[in-house]
Amino acid sequence: MPPAQLLRVSGLQKSYSVPVLSDFSFELLPGEVHALVGSNGAGKSTFARILSGLTHADAGQMEFAGQPYSPHSKRDAENAGVVMVMQELNVIGTLTVAENIFLNRLPRVAGFVRYGQLRKMAQEALARVGLDDLEPAIPARLLGVGQQQLVEIAGALAQNCRLLILDEPTAALTDPEIEKLFANIRRLQDGGVGIIYVSHRMDEIRRISNRVTVLRDGRRVATHPVAEVTPAGLVREMVGHDLPERKASGERGRGEVAMRVSGLRAGERVCDVTFEVRKGEILGLAGLIGSGRTETLRAIFGADRKERGDVFVGAGDRPALIRDPSDAVRAGIGMVPEDRKMDGLLLAQSIRVNTTLATLSRHVHGGGWLDFRAETQTTDALRQRLGVRCESAEQTVGELSGGNQQKVVIARWLARNCNVLLFDEPTRGIDVAAKDSIYQLLRDLAAEGKAVVMVSSELTELMALCDRILVMSNGRIVAEFLPGQWSQEKITHAAFSGYLDQATKPV
């Protein structure tokens, strides 16, 4: 007699620098697909990580198949039958597809891998996700992102799994691939496997899941049978109130052109991008991950090579020659990169060193000596303006929280007084309070007459901040929305439009 509940969670607590899960409770039946929704940072991923043994809860009870459950490692969770397919791809490119699927359980004799058996097992696993034709012995790096995702799912399905956690599994998949995935989910359901399905996509949730649980700020807001939910209702619960639609302001976005990009082409991800941004305007760049948003910013900034296209800064007719970020900075452009730890900060150095990095030549006196006092003054003024929480300007940046680190990167460009600021996912991995202060900062910058271009995957964020939203899809700008014209549905529809032709074409 199987227990009525496959998974029962109550009173779950977890905090890092801020609480990310508080008094969270959750139930899952065998054979149920239970969707988890919530805005970024609501605690969905943390819950998934606790279940799969990647991190531990601070407090709370978990019961899995009638037994107390608290996995100490991913291995532990997998032995119990809890398997997660993560949002970030974990495929190791240099290993073969087969090796990736069975990485932690390669069939072997006396330490030697039995490749014949591995191949057979891999073929079976791949067939299950519809990749029958895929050669299991090719290196995984040769696969596209969608196929890599499917390989990971195949790996999860090949285990003896009783609870499967899928975190945004369709982000990189094409429509036919999604159909195959859904067929698999139904098959698992019939076998009594419980599935936790983390997604932002309302249509998928309505198609595939039985119940939906909404999270907000680490708490469970509500659980509904899927038949009773509407997208608008879910969004309201996720946000906590009706979305604050930006009102079309007469003043903002009417300034002169600050930067014009024309016919930009760079790599495979940026095919033909043309747009302009005005002084005092916040221009949003929406689109799916991989649609070329980040690459567009990087190409404008000179971080990656452009093949074609011009960037005009200011009102002039002559394109700015930007071959390297130093050229862009000289032209008055600043970029806050997506990955602040890798691309933005000197983590082991002080706030002062990080803040003055782009303006160091203005902090010298007496013919070339650095003026530490002037540096400290600049840094103190900016950290007060931005509300950076720290001990002093000499504190190491690596010790700060994500939000404060991001403010340090922004401070660097404020010190430089750039006219055009490119923000790539400025609030990724930042707690709610810090997000708000970054939003306010972006508004202030626009009010000062700066031109702001902002890439974000959070549509609510873009819709609340921007004076105009451009949607990128498959390397092109496919739509432009003004306040009042946009909706999540319209933007999402546009974001997919560039891929629709491709999905139907035989590869």
Partner 1 sequence: MATSRKSTHLGEFAAMLLIWLGLWLLFSFFSHNFLSWRTLSGLANRIPTLMVVSAGMTLVLIIGAIDLSVGSVLGLAGAVLGVAVVNWHWPFWAAAWACMCVGLAAGILNGLISVQLGVPSFIVTLGMLEMSRGLAYLATHSQTEYIGAPVEGLSRPLSAVGCSPAFMIGAFVTGVCQLVLSRTLFGRYLVAIGTNEQAVRLAGINPRLPKIAVFALVGLLTGLGAVFYTSRLGASDPNAGAGLELSAIAAVVIGGTSLMGGRGSVVSSFFGVLIIATLEAGLAQVGASEPLKRVVTGAVIVLAVALDAWRRHLAGSKFTFLSRLFSSRFA
Neighbours of 85 (CB within 10 A): 22
Q: For partner 1, give the closer residue by CB, 85 or 336.
A: 336
Written as one string, the DSSP assignment of 103-148 is GGG--EETTEE-HHHHHHHHHHHHHHTT-TT--TTSBGGGS-HHHH
* Residue 241, CA distances (Å) to 216, 234, 235 in order: 11, 11, 9
Amino acid of residue 215: L
Torsion on CA atoms 25, 27, 33, 39, rounded to nearest 10: -10
* Residue 305, CA distances (Å) to 268, 323, 324, 406, 422 in order: 12, 7, 8, 26, 17
Angle at CA 310, nearest 5°, toward 329 and 466? 70
3-class SS of residue 225: strand
Written as one string, the DSSP assignment of 254-319 is -S-EEEEEEEEEETTTEEEEEEEEETT-EEEEEE-TTSSHHHHHHHHHTSS--SEEEEEETT-SSP
Residues that bind partner 1 (CB under 8 A): 301, 303, 324-326, 328-330, 334-335, 337, 342-350, 353, 357-358, 360-361, 364, 368-370, 372-373, 376, 392-394, 396, 412, 416
Which neighbouring-strand residues pair with 85?
Answer: 166
Cite the beta strand spans of 391-505 per DSSP E: 420-424, 451-455, 468-473, 476-481
Q: Nearest approach, Cβ of 428 to partner 1 (angstroms)? A: 16
Strand 82-85 and strand 108-109: the pairing is unpaired
Q: Which residue has the tokens 């290993």?
A: 95
Torsion on CA atoms 13, 17, 18, 21, rounded to nearest 10: -20
3-class SS of residue 476: strand
In the chain, DSSP finds a helix count (H) and a strand count (E) of: 16, 23
